[in-house]
Structure 1
Amino acid sequence: MNAPLESTLWDILGVIEPQRDDWLIRQRIVQELQDVVRTIPNLRGATVEPFGSFVSNLFTPWGDLDITVMLDYGSYISVAGKKRKLSLLEDVLRALKEKGGWWRLRFIPNAKVPILKFEKGCPAISGDISIDNLGGQMKSKCLFWLNQIDGRFRPLVLLTCKPAIFPPFHALYPTNVVDDLTGVRETAEQSISDLFHANIRKYIAGRSRTMNRSSLSELFVSFLAKFSTISLKARDFGICPFTGQWEEINNNTRWFPRTFALYLEDPFEQPANSARAVSVRNLDRIQEVIQRTQLAILSPSLSWIDIHPLLVKPELSRVILFRKQNQNSGGQMMQLQQQQQPQIRKHVHSLAPVIAARVQNARSENQLRGWRDGTRHIHELSSKPKQETASNNAVSKESNAKKWRKRGIQQQQRGDVFNSKQQLWRARSQQS
């Protein structure tokens, strides 16, 4: 295990972990949009529902908020045509302008899924509004459920390491999820949920499964190694999470005609390409950054203070330094913060306002427990004699595996609470 890298990854996770206020501000935005939608005659009975990283619990405090306005079709699933979606989004745009308090409104009619972009709240949260995006909602829930298998899913999603953390997607759901969104909505969603959870339980209980007990840093390094030649490999191969492997493009007729620089098949909606927006130039740049990062973090002389500027933006790097200095020098942190505040305030539209507020409003001990446990484990390992390390690593990795499974269950429980609130919003909207 690369101890400086492991420590740095936990430092980063400790800063980007959403807190209670991050959830509340997004919930308020959803509720305020619902209030606006109620005033639009053409959207009578419609419900406003979040999806994307917020629902799958993969968002950061400055991440976008995806929202869809679900039209009232009664109990049954139906989807508006593109022309109607465009017309309704124009209605929403006019209503938001009239209401005020919604900034940087921008209508994107030519996207595959037409959206209305916005900013809202303080600090400002950017987001996208779509119409009848039930498929997006279901994908978000499936991603959330995956966290039950392994708590490392949230900090580092990696489908194809050896031994695998996750099974091929077809082992969890054998068909296209979006194809099964038909009939009565509640029945369809429950059927998908039941099958997904049954297969997750089956996978977790499988005795023949070889557990992956890699540390977070080991997973990160293996990720960089796997994709360090992505631009070259993408010429002949596409990424297929449904089968859990690279597949030759010429052998997969579903990807014809070849029009994209990178194929990353959407496992929920095959054969749609999730990487369709990546150009050849983008792909070359991605490979270059991965290779540069890989070379830097594998340097034997690299310390934690050298690593985090390679992985995060300067504003976030400063906050990590503040936290480290606070641990080492106690009250000196406040003085350092005061010295850095003029610089931080210059980045009005950057991460700094969000992060600075989070640092100034110190969180409770429980909210930093995961970060501290991780760094404590690293320091304990590094302080032990070399002859004890091999045997103790096996024990600690077994403990880590149990810890990650426990975190996955905790995330699921929090998600169940969130889903209950979402159902309550939907019920209230229908009553009004």
Structure 2
Amino acid sequence: MSKYGMLDNVLNDILKAVTPLQEDWAVRFGIINDLRLVAESVESLRGATVEPFGSFVSNLFTRWGDLDISIELSNGSHISSVGKKHKQTLLGDLLKALRTKGGWNNLQFIINARVPILKLKRYPPGISCDISINNLQGQMKSKILLWINKIDGRFHDMVLLVKEWAKAHKINNPKTGTFNSYSLSLLVIFHFQTCVPAILPPLKDIYPGNMVDDLIGVRADVEDLIAETCDTNINRYISDKSRPKNKKSLAELFVEFLRKFAQMDSWASKMGISPHTGQWEQIKDNTRWLPKTYAIFVEDPFEQPQNTARSVSSGHLPKIAKAFLETYSILISKSQTPNSLLIYLAPPHVSRYIMKPAIPNYGGGYLHPPQPQFPRPVRPQPPPQRHPQQPPQHRIQNGSEGSSSNGSTSGGSKGSSSISRALPMQAQKRQQIWRPRIIQ
């Protein structure tokens, strides 16, 4: 039995609780449809399309996840370019129409953001929406993350688990100087690239170029070229029989994830994270990253050299590192119960959802929790094999992890000649507006 058998069970319970149901998909498609009707009533948006992106398109969202929307302006068949001022004007027009129509709550216009955004909520069920103009970059990034799911299903599960854990520790909010969800997803990708054996390849092996630079010309042609490139390279990686297979369980991978980044406050000023190359990189040697300085650098592999973690403040970096370190210490402790683990791995609304009703525990299940025991944080030992350019880690005692591997790789079906962009079957049946195309 795995050393992390209890942890595996708790992580699976969290996944069951946060994985969207059919109605969660239907609600979001309904919101998209309602926004389309409002946009069609705005003269300045005539001919525009309302298209989702972000975690919804990547299938990396949870039941309570936000919805990202891009309003794509008509420019014939070509990709259009719109200045920031014009985007602000168009979002202002949409804001007036939404107020006139009614039924939308918490309307907020973030006019001076790097990308102007209109934020709102739809009650019920309280889904938050961020609306931007001509965010084709965001759409294509989201699709590539969706296609990466084909390589190994553990990527999807780890992203959901990491985001829930980060919310529990209040380190998944760029407004408060911590990580946004996209940078957390890239940390998972990087972990899967640098674990031993690797689960994911460097993203340059999936799309060699700087994707945002290629978004010029006829939109359908550009999107097809990007999709076909990724399709070919992903299938090549999956079908490589000589590639060592990583069969670690989610629990083992999760513990290793925490250990890998637990000392980020000690190396973040010197080392950057590059999912594009799949390597740690010396900041001083990467001229593209200079002269700007950030608390931590997680490069956008599809929009180099942008830093997806630019929202992380130097004042909050120690708090973030502490969350990694304390959770790691909790998970390797032998004095935990399912309840104490759950409280430390998921935000309160998820924990309550899993633990109710309180029933007797006959060797499993959940009781209303005692206060979790927090052992003194333990600095993890360096891994036995050092990845090229890996940040130095201090030798600390009592940092062992489980060596058993009872998990299994859940990658895409071998021999498939195309990347399936299809959403889960229940979502496809409800979908009326936006349908990811499938390469024939």
Q: Secondary structure at the match of 2:119?
A: strand
Return the offset for 1:283: 1.2
Match of 1:281 in 2: 315
Structure 1 residue runs without a partner (length 5+):
338-389, 428-432
How has the CA–CA distance of structure 1 residues 418 and 248 changed in structure 2, closer, same or farther, with 3 Å as cutoff? farther
Q: Within 5 A, what are the aligned runs for 1:130-145?
A: 130-145=132-147
Q: Kindly indicate whether residue 89 of structure 2 is the aligned counterpart of residue 81 of structure 1.
A: no
How has the CA–CA distance of structure 1 residues 413 and 52 changed in structure 2, closer, same or farther, with 3 Å as cutoff? closer
Match of 1:203 among 198, 219, 237: 237
Q: Within 5 A, what are the aligned runs for 1:393-408?
A: 397=407, 400-401=408-409, 403-405=410-412
Give the number of aligned pairs: 365
How has the CA–CA distance of structure 1 residues 323 and 177 changed in structure 2, closer, same or farther, with 3 Å as cutoff? farther
Tell me the distance in 2 between the aligned counterparts of 1:89 and 1:71. 12
Amino acid at match of 2:39: V
Q: Kindly indicate whether residue 246 of structure 2 is the aligned counterpart of residue 212 of structure 1.
A: yes
Q: Is the 8 A contact 2:25 2:427 kept in 1?
A: no
Give a deviation string over 1:333-368, Cα, whole Å, max 9, x none.
9xx99xxxxxxxxxxxxxxxxxxxxxxxxxxxxxxx
Q: Within 5 A, what are the aligned runs for 1:32-431?
A: 32-156=34-158, 157=188, 158-159=191-192, 160-322=194-356, 325=359, 397=407, 400-401=408-409, 403-405=410-412, 412=420, 414-415=422-423, 425=433
Structure 2 residue runs without a partner (length 5+):
159-187, 369-402, 436-440
Return the offset for 1:323: 6.8
Q: Secondary structure at the match of 1:425?
A: coil
Tell me the distance in 1 between the aligned counterparts of 2:26 and 2:427. 14
**Over aligned residues, Cα RMSD in angstroms?**
2.9
More divergent stretch after superposition (151-160 vs 27-36): 151-160
Amino acid at match of 2:258: L
Tell me the distance in 2 between the aligned counterparts of 1:418 and 1:39. 30
How has the CA–CA distance of structure 1 residues 34 and 422 changed in structure 2, closer, same or farther, with 3 Å as cutoff? farther
> Structure 1 stretches (4+) deviating beyond 2 angstroms?
157-160, 322-329, 403-407, 411-427
Which of the two has greater helix per residue? 1
**Higher Cα Rg, which structure:** 1
Tell me the distance in 2 between the aligned counterparts of 1:180 and 1:151. 28
Match of 1:373 in 2: none
Tell me the distance in 1 between the aligned counterparts of 2:78 and 2:288. 30
Q: Secondary structure at the match of 2:24?
A: helix
Return the offset for 1:305: 2.3
Amino-acid identity (%)? 46
Q: Is the 8 A contact 1:239 1:264 kept in 2?
A: yes
Q: Is the 8 A contact 1:120 1:126 kept in 2?
A: yes
